[in-house]
Amino acid sequence: MSIIYDPKYKVFLQCLKDARIQSKMTQQELATVLGCGQSYVSKYEQGQKRLDIIEIRNICICLGLSLQKLIVDFEERLEKSGF
């Protein structure tokens, strides 16, 4: 099974999506700040594109979120989900 379909990766993507929503940014607004198309954001949020650590860091910066806070949120959600 590919990592992109791993249930833990889906939890991670939900963390990113929730962070975007909490920052009150649309996919288009985030894409503009990232310097890419809206489909980039849509594809990673839907699990169609796998992100590397540099991309994740850039997304966090654009959302005004520290990478550390994102990881803590992710770990807490994994724990609650029984992973």
Domains and CATH numbers, the chain: 3-81 (1.10.260.40)
pLDDT of 1 reads: 40
pTM metric for this prediction: 0.91
> Which residues of the chain fall short of a pLDDT of 70?
1-4
Q: How many CA within 13 A on the CB side of residue 38?
A: 5
Taking alpha carbons only, the member of 5, 2, 8 closest to residue 82 is 8
pLDDT of 4 reads: 65
pLDDT of 5 reads: 75
pLDDT tens-digit map of 48-65: 999 999 999 999 999 999
- Rounded CA gap, 20 and 31, in Å? 11
Per DSSP, 81 falls in state: H
Percent of the chain's residues with pLDDT above 70? 95
- Cβ(40)–Cβ(31) under 8 Å? yes
